[in-house]
Structure 1
Amino acid sequence: MRFFLCSLLLFVVLSCTNSKNERHQLIDFVPDDSEIILKTTNLESLKSAIENNSFLNLLSESDTYKGLQAKLNSISNLNPSGDVLICISKKRDSLEYTLITKYSEILFQTDSLKNYIEEELKYKSHSITKSTLEDAVFFNTIVDSTFILSSSKVLINECLNLSDKNSGLKKLYDVTSKDENISILCNTNSKLSPSFFIEDELNAHSLSDFLALDTEISQDNIFINGIAKSIDSSKKVIDLFKNTVPQENQIQNITPGNSDGFLSFTFDDFQVLRENISRYHNKDSIFDNIELFNSIIEVGVIYEDEKRAIVLNSIDAIATQDALLSDKNSIETFRDIKIFEFSKSGIFLETLAPFINNIQPSNYCIIDNYFVFADSVDLLQNIIASYQNKTTLGNRGYFKELSENLSSESSLIFVAKPELLKTIVEKNIGARYNFKNYNLSAIQFIYDTDFAHIHGGLIKGKRKRVQNSISENFNLKLDTDILNTPQFVANHITKQKEIVVQDLNNKLYLISNQGKIVWKKQLNSAILGKVEQIDMYKNGRLQLAFATANRVYVVDRKGRDVAPFPLKFNDAITQPLSVFDYDKNKNYRLLVTQGKNVLMYDARGKTVSGFTFKKANGNIISQPKHFRIGTRDYLVIKTENKLHILDRVGKTRVSPKSTNAYSNEPVFVYKNKFTTTTKDGKLVSVDTRGNVALVDLRLTNNHNLETTSKTRVTFHDNKLGIKSRELELDYGNYTRPNIFYINDKIYVAITDLQSKKVHLYDSQGKMIPNFPVYGNSSISLDNIDRDRNLEFVTKGDANSIILYEIN
C-alpha cells in the first residue's frame, strides 16, 4: 500500500468544506480520548487473522491482551456488514473499548442470546441501552444510522457529543486502506502508542504526532504500510529529514549475519540534517568538528548483545579518511584491516542525537567505503570477518524476502532479529516472549514533504523447501469443526485459486491461498456436494453457485447474495446443484433435484420453460450430469432402475435396451459410453444407441467408481483399482477416490480417515514420492498460485484445514 501526498492533501481540502455540526463518517463519532483506533472492513476476517497469526497468538497470552479480550467478547455477537471502528481508551488504569459501525437490522440480534438483560437509559435527548450478557455489561445506542457499542457509558456519552478533539486523526482516516485486514490510527500522545525502536529517544511520541498504519496479516507474517504526520515540523524526529532526500540503505551489507540487527538513517546533505537537528535541540549550533560527516550519506548502528558499533557510509572515502588523520594510531591488524584508536568518542552523541545515544566508541576501522566505530575490538573483528566472508545480514535469504516489502531507500530504518524483537515487545506490553522462530522484523520511514511513508514487516522463519518434498504452507483454525471437504475455487481477480469450506454452524468460509479468511457467510443448512462457479453477467467476474436442503445460492466475490438468489424451496433438495453450460457461452442452466422431480433455471433464477422433463420414474439417486459426445449433448438422470438419457430440452435421446439395479455411484462418460455400476458391483456401459454391456469387476456392494474419458478407478474393501492395476491398501476407513487431471497428468487421491493419511498415486498406480501425509478428509488438488508446484488442501484437526505444496 503506497500513500501519496495528493491523497492526503485532497482529504485536508475536503475536510475543510464539511460543516462542523454534521457527522457523516464513522470517525466523527469516536470518543475524545481514544488512544488507538482500529479500523476493519471485515470484523470476522480480523478476528480470524488475530487468532491464526502465530505472532499475535503468542502475544494473546499477555495480561494486557487478556484483560481487553474479556471485555471485547460482546463484539462476537455482532454481524456488521461494512466498516468497523474499535476505539481503545484508558480509563482509571483500565482499558475500555468503543465499537462504531453502520446500523442494520441484523447487526445485533438478541433473541437467541441466553442470560441477556436490557435496561433503557437516557443521556440528554438520546436513548442508551444497557446490556448484561452473562457477566459482561456493555452499552449501545444508535445515532444517525450509526451504531455505537462500548464497555463504558462515559465513552458512549462522549460519542454523542460533538467535538473537534480528534481532528488530527480524522484527517488521516480517509487515506487508510479499504481492503486490508486492519488499519490502525494512533495519537502518539497516547500511553498505548507503540514503540518501534530500542532507543527511548525514538519513541512514538518523539517521532510524530499521528500514525496511520494499514496491516496485512497472514498466518506467519505481518506487513504494515502507512504514514506518520506531525503538527509542529521542528519538534518531531521524523521532521529532522525535512529538505533531505532519502538514500539507498546499505548498512545491511556491513552488518554481521549473527548480529541482533541495525538502525540506519540516510540523507543527501549532512549540512541540512545538521541544521534540522540544531532546531530540534533548540541550539544555534552543535559540535563544531563535523568534517568527519561531510561526505557521509548514511549512518548506522549495529547491535550485538550489549555492544554497539556506529557505521558511516561515505561517498568519498579519501575525504573521510582525511578527517581522521589525527586518529591514526593502529592498535592491531585483523585480516589485513587495521584497527585504530579513536579519541573523539563524544562526537556522535553531540552531533547525531537523538539517533545515537550512549555510544562512545574508542576504536575504528575502515572497510571499503564503510567507517566502523566501536568500543569493542571483538565486535569490529566480527564485522570485518562477516564482510569478507559474505555472511552479512544483507546476504541472508530472509532479509531479501523481507526487503521485497520495503523500499530500498529510506530516511530511517530499524531491522531487528529475535533478541531485539523480544526487547521491543517487552517495551510495549511489559512481557518477554521467545521469538526465535521469527527471523526478522523491520520498520522504515521515508520522508516526503511534510509527512513520512511507513513500511514494515515481520516474517517467520520457514523450513527450507527441498526439491521433491512436501511442505505445509499453512494450518488454519476455523471457529468450529468442519462440516464438508475443503475445495479450491477460482479467484477471477488474481487468476489464482482460493478455498471454500463450511463449518458445523453452516458458516461458509472463503479463504485466500495465503491462509487469510476473506469472508464468512451464514447459510441455512449444509451445502450439497461441491460448490460450482458461474459468470452470471458474462463479464469475467465469477460467482459461487450451490444448493442446500431448501435453497439455491449464487454468491459474489464479497460473499453477498446475487439477486434474485437465494431461491427458496418448500420441498427438500436431494442432490447437489447441477450447472450446465452447453456451448461454453455462459448461458448457464441450473438443475435442481427434489426426489424424483427436477426443476431447471437460467442464471438469473428464471424457470426454463422449454425444458420438458419434469419427473423421473423414481427417486433420483445421483447428481444429474451433462455430457457431450461428438456434437451432441446428453443429460443423464439416474434412478434405482433406469438411466434417463435426455437432450437439452428434456426429451429422451437414448433409451437403454435393458434395465439394471443401479448403485448410487455417479454416471461418467468412459470410452465414449455412459458408465456407472450396479448394486452388486458390475460395470454398466451404455452406448449412444442404447446398447448395454455389463462387466463383472467383482466389486463388493460397498464400492466407488471414478473415471475420466480414458482412466477408470474403483475402490472396494481395501482394494484400489487404477486402470488395470489393483493395489491392496492397509485396512482402514477410506474416503471415495478422486481423480485429478492436471497438466496432462492423472493423479488419484484417497484418504484413510482411520490413520489420517492422504495417499496420492499416478495413473500407473505408483505412489507419488513423500506420500502419504497427514490429512483427515478427501483432498482438492490443483496449481493455485503462480509457481509450477501443485498444492492440495485437506482437513487437519476437526476445526482446521491444511494447505500442502508438492515441491
Structure 2
Amino acid sequence: MRVFCFSLLLILVFNCSNNKTSRSELIDFTPKNTSIILKTSNLEGLKSSINNSEFLQEISKTDSYKNLENTLSSLSYLKPTSDILICFSKDLKDSLQYSIITKHNQQLFETDSLPDYIEETLSYKNKTITKSTLNNNTFYSTIIDSIFFASSSKDIVDAIFSNTKIDIELEKIYNITSNDKTFSVILKPDNTFLESFFIEDSLSFKTFTNYIAVDVSINQDEVLFNGITKAIDSSKSLINIFKNTTPQENQTHNITPSNSDGFMSFTFNDYKTLETNLVQFNSKDSITNTTMLFNDIVEVGVIYQGKNSAIALNSLDVIATKDALLSEQNHIDFYRGVSIFSFSRPFLFTKTFAPLVSFNKANKYCILDNFFVFANSTDMLQNIIANYQNKTTLNEKVYFQDVKNHLSDASSLIQVINPSSLKAILNKNLKGNLNYKLNNYNVSALQFIYETNFAHVNGIIKKNKTRALLNSVSEELNIKLDTDILTNPQFVKNHITKQKEIVVQDINNNLYLISNRGKILWKKQIKSAVLGPIEQIDIYKNGRLQLVFATSNGVYVIDRNGKDVAPFPIKFNSEITQPLAVFNYDKNKNYRLLVTQGRNILMYDVKAQVVNGFTFKSANNTIICQPKHFRIGSKDYITFKTQNKLYILDRTGKTRITPKTSSSYSNQSIFLYKNNFTTTTSDGNLITIDTKGHASIKNLSLSEKHHLETSSKTLVLLNENKLSIKNKTIELDYGDYSTPRLFYINDKIYVAITDKQAHKIHLYDSQTKLLPNFPVYGNSPIILDNIDKDRNLEFVSKGENNSIILYQIN
C-alpha cells in the first residue's frame, strides 16, 4: 500500500501544471547549468554525519574531497533556520562554481566576530551584491525576495537577478525529495563528480538518465539511498529501455559465488519489448543474428570475477531454452555431475544487450536448474558450480541478507559488489587510485525499479558487522562532536518511534539531540551549562514529549525539533543552584517545575507562571541537593536539605514531617528506601526517617568521599573503593569512581560505576557479580536502557573528550 501511495504521488507530481511563472521556492533560484544540487534541512547534522561516517572518512582522503571541503569552508559559518541548497554549476569558462540558497534570517551569517573577514558592497544597475573574503576564499552574495543567494562567482550572482526562467521538470523532481534524511541530492549527467556507478565501463551516467534525485541517510556504518530517476527523452537514455516492462524478482545472487567481485542483473517480463527498446536506444534497424535463446528468459545476470565474467540467463521454461541450444551441445567437460558445453556465439550477448553487457568471450556454458551460465573460463564455471552445490553463494551470506532487507525483491536493474569493486568504482569517479580501507564493506548494492515513466532508486553501502557473541559487549557507535563534551550523555524518549535517543551538551553550550543510529538531529546553543539530568514532559497532553531543564540563569522547554516552547525559556536574575525538579503529582501531566536559588525555592506551572498555592519560600541555609517528590500511600512528600536541616513538605510547601533529630548532612541526595526517607550525614552515618519523623542512624564509618543510591528496596553504597549492594560488599581497585547508577530493567537489578582514572565502566548484578566482558572503556557515568526494538540493552558514556560511545550488551 505504501509503494502504491508513493507511486500515485509521483504520477500526480509529474503530471502537474507547467504554468508556474514566479519564483517562490529555493529551487527556483538555481543557476543555469547547475548539474548537482544538495539539499539539507540540518546543516549541523550533515557535517556531523560526514565526520562520523567511516565510509565518507575514507572518501575524505581524496584530493577531490579536500578541494571541495576547502572551497565550501565558509559554509561552516552559516546558521540557516530552514532548508539550504548547495548547487554546483559551470561558468562561461567551464570552471566549477558553487552557489548557496536559503531563506534569509538575521542570524544566518554573523560576521562581527569572524577573524580576517573583509566585506565590500557592490552597487550598480539597481543591484546590490556583497563581496566577502574569509580564510582567503572570496564569495559574493545578495538577498532577493527574502532568499539569501551566495556564490563563488560574481557572474552567477549577477545573473540570478534576471534568471527568472523556471525549470519545471527540475522542480517536480525537487518536490519529491524528503526533509527528514541527512541530505538529498539531485544529479544531472553533466556533473563533474560522477562518471559512472557501474562496474561496466560501457555504462556511463551521461547516457543513463536525465535526472537522479535521492534522499541520503548517513549512519556510522552505512549509507542509504532512496529516490527516483527520470529520463525525459525516451530514446536517448538507457533507463528507458525498461519502459513497458515489468520488473521480475532478481535471482542471480542465488548462483553468484560469495568469493566473486559481485554481479549485475536486469529483468523483464517480455524479452521482445526489451529487445525493441534496445534497438531504439542503440539506433539499430534490428538485432542481427536473431535467436530463440532469450524468448523464455526473464533475467540476465553478469557475474564478475577479476578480469573474467560469466553471463547467467534465468529461464521460465528450461526445456524451451534447452531446445534453443540444441545446436550448442558439444560436450567438453564434466564437473561434479554437471556437463560443460562449448558455445559458438560468444558475441551474441553483447550484440543483443549492449551496453548492459560488454563481455563477448563467453564460449562455454553449463546448466544449473533454471540458470544457463556462460563464461570463457572452465575454472570460473567450476567455481560457480561448486559454490552453488555447496550453498556458499552470495545469497547464503548473512551480510548479503542484511543488505537485501533494504532492497526490493524485484528490480529492473541491480548491481551488487564487493569491496574491491567498490574501490574500483570510487577510483573511476574520484580519480585518485587510492587504496581505500573498505574491506569490511562486504556488499554494496544499487537498484532501479522502472515504473511508468520513471524508476525508483535504492542503494546501500554497508559495513559488515561481526555477529555478536552471547553476553558480549559491542561498541555500536562512536560519535564525534566538533568540540569537547561538557555534560554526561543520557537517553531521552522519542515519542514517535517509542525508542530512545541521546542528548548531550558540549563546552560551547551547544545542546545536541542524536538518534540511536548516530545521526545528529539538531544542535542548539543555549546560554550556559545544563544543571543535572534533562527531564521530559508532555506540556500539551497530546503524547508529544519536550525536553525540560534548568541552567544557572534560565528554565528551558524544547520540542523534539530543537525549538523553544513558548513561553519558555524563562530567565532569572539570581543564580539557579540545583537541577530543575519536575513533579507530576497525580500522573495527570499538570507538571510543577521547582527552581532552587540558594536557600529559596520557586514553583512554576507549564505556563511559566508562579504557583501561588506553594507557600514555602526560604530554607534556613543553602539547599545542597535537588528537591525530590515521593508518594507514600495517598500522601505527597517534597524533600530537600541544607547542611543541617532536612525538609519534608506537602504539596503546598507546608511542613508535613519534622525529623525528630538534628544532623549535619552530606551532599548526597535524599532517597525513598523501604518507605523511609534515606540519606547520609557528613560524619559517615546512614540516616532514615519514617513518616512520623522518627530517625534511625546507622554508623557505617563512611568517608567524606562516598556515594549513595537506592531504589525502593535496594540500597547501594560506594565508600572509597568498597561497593555495597544489598549488604554484600566487594573491594575494588583504588581509583576515582563516579556515583553508582542503579537500574531496574526487566525484573533485574544492575549497578554501574565508572573509574574515571582508569577509564573503565563496571556493571554489576544485585549479587555484586561483575557482568561478563566488563569492564569496558568509558569516561563518565552511564545510562543503561533498551533503546531500540531488539531485546538487547544499550548504554551510553563519554569516550574521548569529544566523543560519545554507545555500547550494546548482547
TM-score class normalised by the smaller sequence = over 0.9
Question: Larger deviation: 112-121 or 467-476?
Answer: 112-121
Alignment pair present for 1:153 and 2:154: yes
One-letter amino acid of the counterpart of residue 386, structure 1: N
Q: Which residue in the other structure is 1:443 paired with?
A: 446
1:59 shift after superposition: 0.5
Q: Matched residues in 2 for 1:332 and 1:131: separation? A: 73
Contact 1:168 1:210 in 2 (8 A): no
2:8 maps to 6
C-alpha spacing 1:213/1:124, structure 2 compared with 1 (3 Å): farther
Aligned pairs (5 A) from 1:764-783: 764-783=767-786
Q: Do structure 1's residue 68 and structure 2's residue 68 form an aligned pair?
A: yes
Say whether 1:580 aligns with 2:583.
yes
Is the contact made by 1:169 and 1:187 (CA closer than 8 Å) also made in structure 2?
A: no
Point out the more displaced range, 273-282 or 486-495: 273-282
Q: What does 1:359-398 align with in structure 2 at a 5 Å threshold? A: 359-398=360-399
1:629 maps to which of 632, 641, 644: 632
- For residue 721 of structure 1, report the CA deviation from its aligned partner: 1.5
Task: Give distance in 2, aligned partners of 1:278 and 1:225.
Answer: 30
Question: Does the 8 Å contact 2:23/2:164 carry over to 1?
Answer: no
- Is 1:610 the counterpart of 2:613? The answer is yes
Q: Residue 166 of structure 1: CA displacement?
A: 4.1
Matches within 5 A, 1:489-500: 489-500=492-503
Report sequence identity in percent. 57
2:442–2:464 CA contact under 8 A, matched in 1: yes
CA deviation profile, 1:60-82 (whole Å, cap 9, x unmatched): 11111111111211111111111
Q: Match of 1:388, SS?
A: helix
Equivalent in the alignment of 1:315: 316
- Give the 3-state SS of the residue equivalent to 2:326 in structure 1: coil
Cα contact 1:748–1:761 (8 A) shared by 2: yes
Distance, in Å, in 1 between the alignment partners of 2:713 and 2:33 is 70
Partner of residue 699, structure 1: 702
On the 8 A contact 2:494/2:501 being kept in 1, the answer is yes
Q: Deviations over 1:138-166 (max 9, x none)?
A: 22211111111222222222333324374
User: Who is 2:417 aligned against?
Assistant: 416
Q: Is the 8 A contact 2:686 2:697 kept in 1?
A: yes
Q: Do the aligned residues in 2 keep the contact of 1:36 with 1:193 (CA within 8 Å)?
A: no
Please tell me whether the aligned partners of residues 260 and 416 of structure 1 are also in contact (alpha carbons under 8 angstroms).
yes
What corresponds to 2:458 in structure 1?
455
Measured against aligned partners, the alpha-carbon deviations of 1:406-437 in whole angstroms (never above 9, x if no partner) come to 10000000111111111110111012323212
Distance 2:74 2:164 in 1: 27
With 495-504 and 111-120 compared, the bigger mean Cα shift is at 111-120
Paired with 1:14 and 1:610, the residues of 2 have a C-alpha distance of 60
State the match for 1:306 in structure 2: 307
Between 460-469 and 486-495, the greater mean CA deviation after superposition: 460-469
Against the structure 1 CA distance between its residues 134 and 191, is the aligned structure 2 distance closer, same or farther, given a 3 Å change threshold? closer
Alignment of 1:258 with 2:268, yes or no, is no
Matches within 5 A, 1:521-560: 521-560=524-563
1:684-695 paired onto structure 2 within 5 Å = 684-695=687-698
Structure 2: how far apart are the matches of 1:340 and 1:65? 49
Count of aligned pairs between the two proteins: 805
Q: CA deviation at 1:189?
A: 2.5
Residue equivalent to 1:43: 43
Instruction: Tell me the equivalent position of 1:654.
Output: 657
Question: Residues of 2 paired with 1:114 and 1:15: CA distance?
Answer: 49
Question: Would you say the 8 A contact 2:182–2:218 is kept in 1?
Answer: yes
Asked whether the 8 Å contact 1:8–1:172 carries over to 2, the reply is no
C-alpha contact (below 8 Å) 1:102/1:146 kept by paired residues: yes
Would the aligned equivalents of 1:550 and 1:571 in 2 still touch at CA under 8 Å? yes
Question: How far has the Cα of 1:241 moved from its partner?
Answer: 0.7
Q: CA deviation at 1:265?
A: 0.3
Q: Which of the numbers 646, 655, 659 marks the counterpart of 1:643?
A: 646
CA contact (8 A) 2:18 2:168 kept: no
Q: Secondary structure at the match of 1:70?
A: helix
User: Take 2:454 and 2:16, find their aligned partners in 1: how far apart are those partners?
Assistant: 18
TM (norm. structure 1) is 0.98
> What residue identity is the alignment partner of 2:8?
C
Q: In 1, are the aligned partners of 2:780 and 2:798 still within 8 Å (CA)?
A: yes
Answer whether contact 1:735 1:751 (CA < 8 A) is retained. yes
Q: For residue 770 of structure 1, report the CA deviation from its aligned partner.
A: 0.8
Preserved contact between residue 628 and residue 640 of structure 2 (Cα < 8 Å): yes
Deviations 1:508-537 (A, max 9, x none): 111111111111110111000000000000
1:13 is displaced (CA, Å) by 4.9
In structure 2, how many angstroms separate the alpha carbons of the residues matched to 1:600 and 1:277?
75
2:381 and 2:663 map into 1 onto residues whose CA distance is 86
Question: Is this contact kept in 1: 2:760–2:779, CA < 8 A?
Answer: yes
Using the alignment, how far apart are the partners of 2:345 and 2:32 within structure 1? 49
Deviations 1:218-250 (A, max 9, x none): 001011011111111122111101111100000
Contact 2:58 2:437 in 1 (8 A): no
TM superposition shift of 1:560 = 0.4
* Letter of the structure 1 residue corresponding to residue 609 of structure 2: K
Shift of 1:5: 4.0
Contact 1:654 1:688 in 2 (8 A): yes
CA distance in 2: counterparts of 1:159 and 1:139, whole angstroms: 12
Q: In structure 1, how many angstroms separate the alpha carbons of the residues matched to 2:796 and 2:737?
A: 17
Match of 2:668 in 1: 665
SS at match of 1:35: strand
Q: Which residue of 2 aligns with 1:620?
A: 623
Amino acid paired to 1:721:
S
Does residue 25 (structure 1) correspond to residue 25 (structure 2)? The answer is yes
CA distance in 2, matches of 1:201, 1:104: 47
The offset of 1:710, in angstroms, is 1.1
SS of corresponding position for 1:704: strand
Contact 2:36 2:188 in 1 (8 A): yes
Rounded to whole Å, the distance in 2 between the matches of 1:675 and 1:44 is 45
**Partner residue in 1 for 2:163:** 162
Deviation at 1:94, TM superposition (A): 5.0
Matched, 1:355 2:356: yes
Specify whether residues 15 and 504 from structure 1 end up closer, same or farther in structure 2 by C-alpha distance, changes over 3 A only: farther
Moved more, 281-290 or 222-231: 281-290
1:61 maps to a residue whose letter is K
Structure 1: give runs of 5+ residues left out of the alignment.
Answer: none
Structure-2 residue corresponding to 1:328? 329
> Is the CA contact (8 Å cut-off) linking 2:669 and 2:679 kept in structure 1?
yes
Distance in 2 (CA, whole Å) between partners of 1:208 and 1:76 is 33
Instruction: Specify whether residues 117 and 547 from structure 1 end up closer, same or farther in structure 2 by C-alpha distance, changes over 3 A only.
Output: same
The answer on whether the counterparts of 1:46 and 1:182 sit within 8 Å (CA) in structure 2 is: yes
CA distance in 2, matches of 1:35, 1:351: 32
On the 8 A contact 2:473/2:809 being kept in 1, the answer is: yes
Amino acid at match of 2:626: Q
Aligned equivalent of 2:471:
468
Deviations 1:588-609 (A, max 9, x none): 0000000011111112211111
Change (3 A) 1:42 1:15: farther
Task: Report the residue type matching 1:6 in the other structure.
Answer: L
- TM-score, structure 2 length as denominator? 0.98
What CA deviation, in whole Å up to 9, does each residue of 1:660-696 have, x standing for no partner? 1111100001111111111111111111111112111
**2:750 matches 1:754:** no
| RMSD between superposed Cα atoms in Å | 1.4
1:6: how far off? Answer: 3.1
Which whole-Å deviations, capped at 9, do the CAs of 1:459-497 have from their partners, x for residues lacking one? 101122111111111111011111011001001000011
Moved more, 39-48 or 192-201: 192-201
Q: Is the 8 A contact 1:414 1:444 kept in 2?
A: yes
Look up the equivalent residue of 2:12 and give its one-letter code: L
- The residue type equivalent to 2:756 in the other structure is L
* CA shift for structure 1 position 563: 0.3
2:277 & 2:574 partners in 1: Cα distance? 77
1:551-607 C-alpha deviation (Å, 9 max, x unpaired): 100000101000000010111100000000000111100000000111111122111
